[in-house]
Amino acid sequence: MPSASTRFLNLGILAHVDAGKTTLTERLLHLAGAIDEPGSVDSGTTHTDDLALERQRGITIRSAVVSFGWRGRRINVVDTPGHPDFIAEVERVLGILDGAILVLSAVEGVQPQTRILMRALQRLHVPTLLFVNKIDRVGADLDRVVDAIRSRLTPDVLVMGGVRRTGSRSAGFQPYRGEDPAFAERATTTLAEHDDGVLRAYLDGAAVPAGDLRADIAAQTRAGLLHPVFAGSAATGAGVGEILAALPTLLPTATGSADDAVSARVFKVERGPGGDKIAYLRVSDGTVRPRQRLELPGGRSGKAASVQTYGDGGWTSVDSLGPGAIGRVRGLSAVRVGDAVGERQDPGEPHFPPPTLSAAVDTVRPEDGPALRTALTQLADQDPLINVHLDAAGKPTVSLYGRVQQEVLEATLADEYGVEARFADAAVLHIERPRGVGTAVERLNTPGNPYQATIGLRIEPAAPGSGVRFAVAAPARDMPLYLYGDVTRFAATIEQHVREALAYGLAGWPVTDCVVTLVEAGYSVADGPPSKRGPTSTARDYRKVAPVVCRQALRRAGTQVCEPVLRVSLEVPDADVAAVQTVLGRMGAGLTGQWPAGPMARIDARLVAARLHALQHQLPDLTGGEGLLEYRFDDYRPVHGRPPRRAAPGGAPTAESLT
């Protein structure tokens, strides 16, 4: 078990799907003595893919943590998903790592997801080792893969050994010795790129001592300037012992002070058998203990009921988690994925784009509606990017990266919650913006208003990207403060009703970039003034009136449906540039630049999001699997021609009349 003096290395294992990262994790655990036998992905016996759905599909869906002691260190291994539909899981892990192993296949080599992951690791300056896996497979070629690494990932690599009998079960990896003249020459020229002392020695023809070479290799790797390349087979164990032995030397251990205030990051949330939340976090500073109150963003907080760490093949309770430790905490009912715990936590910018698809979810059995809402709310704690939205009628929609993620959500709802759900066809999420100014009022004690509430609202356009802003211009004397206590609470309640109404605009899309002003209010009490005589106004009256008035004002303002536009960046082989440009032209993309990118060509363009998934689907065929596509949100633009419509879920306000 970790102690106060334990030195931690938090290690991420990342890869393109099917490159073998989970198998590598199992082999590391076995060689370190943490498990008796490595588990198998094919047989569903791995220690990290513990979800039934992961075992059925043979893929990692959620990040998982295992740990083992090795040469005076506690190495926490975080296994991450490889499929791009679950890139959000990788996103949450990147910020807690001290180092990483990026796994490549010796047959497939550098794949699109490999390049995306490597760029993210480089942006965050995470020290990274490369492991070329599957040298036992027919078609394995280490030299070809290393050439691709240098040209497509980074030139700052140093191959740490040679392979023998590739393509056979007896394939092996032999590390180079520092005294080997050929290796010393390659190491010296590589290190000289970032070390003036080594460069001077090289130019002077002086040999750098083997010990100095080893020290400089370690220093440049820990600084993220150099990426040593190992090779082997996670399935047979070849080469895994060599990369395991190198971890304490080449990758840095965590730093932090146990005496400082608590500073930690939540990277995963799951539910226990009793439905309680379990928060996985990495501690940067301070000490987390049972029964300790922990501060969360937005004024939230919670008391740690128990604190656990991974050891001896499972999770066990401990008295504390110190700097560098990864553990899990029960009892934080308000916790969310990505939360900063305590002080000095900066969430930073996201490293990958958010999902671009949205799909409505319904149940096969109508009586399962409440269970569906509960299940999706809990799943949003585990993955906030699914962005569950419940309208006034309680009908949910979710955001998605792709079809595989939707299938996994559907299976999770059925297997873990007993809810048979059906998803509408996923569509790109559009928005609506007001065209002009619209004002509407419904007054109490009038023929068209059966409720004891007066509400007047004005909707007007605001600057693009400003969102929805709510303002109050009605006199305080006309507000039912006996219901809400003060003006602020009344305004906040009306704002909530307005925002719920704006979730579905005239064409069914969310309305944004507007200012909504409460221009009139009124209420009645049984004994007369200060407002109107009549039945006493209730909160229900305002809940009923506000959305309809909002809808009336919106109809008078009119809306413009806008579609999201993305900035896409493609890297494609030179020979495929013309074909890719032709497809981009057919999709209506606007080219913004083209230039060489090593052995590839880079093409930048602006593309409507509705075309993104078609481009992603066609790119592998256009480029022989070599094309890489990255994107980020750029702007919304008005839809030309007939705008797409999204049906408002049943119960959402659509009529202008209260009766």
- Around Cβ 16, how many Cβ atoms within 10 Å? 24
d(CA 90, CA 108): 21
Per-residue pLDDT tens for 610-649?
Answer: 888 889 889 989 998 888 888 888 889 999 888 888 765 5
Contact status, residue 23 vs residue 332, Cβ threshold 8 Å: no
Cross-strand partners of 170: none
Q: Work out the angle between the directed axes of helices 240-250 and 21-31 (0-180°, nearest 10).
A: 80
Helices (H), 235-309: 240-250
Task: Please enumerate in sequence order all residues whose Cβ is within 8 A of that of 376, keeping only pairs 6 or more positions apart, or say none.
Answer: 361, 386, 388, 396, 398, 413
Cross-strand partners of 471: 517
Task: Please enumerate in sequence order all residues whose Cβ is within 8 A of that of 393, keeping only pairs 6 or more positions apart, or say none.
Answer: 649, 650, 651, 652
- Among 521, 503, 497, 511, CA closest to 461: 511
Q: What is the mean pLDDT of the chain?
A: 86
SS (H, E, C) 404-465: HHHHHHHHHHHHHHCCCEEECCCEECCEEEECCCEEEEECCCECCECCCCEEEEEEEECCCC
- pTM value? 0.72
Which pair of structure tokens corresponds to residue 2?
Answer: 């970790």
Task: Please enumerate in sequence order all residues whose Cβ is within 8 A of that of 348, keeping only pairs 6 or more positions apart, or say none.
Answer: 95
d(CA 341, CA 551): 40
Report mean pLDDT in 10-residue bins for the chain, 659 residues.
74 87 90 79 54 49 81 88 64 86 94 86 92 96 95 94 95 90 92 89 82 93 96 95 96 91 90 85 94 87 92 85 94 87 62 71 88 85 73 68 79 86 82 96 92 96 92 94 90 93 89 96 79 80 96 96 91 93 94 86 92 89 88 86 72 57
- Residues across the chain: 659
- Among 613, 492, 506, CA closest to 550: 506
Per-residue pLDDT tens for 249-306?
Answer: 999 999 889 989 999 999 888 888 877 889 999 999 999 999 999 998 877 889 999 9
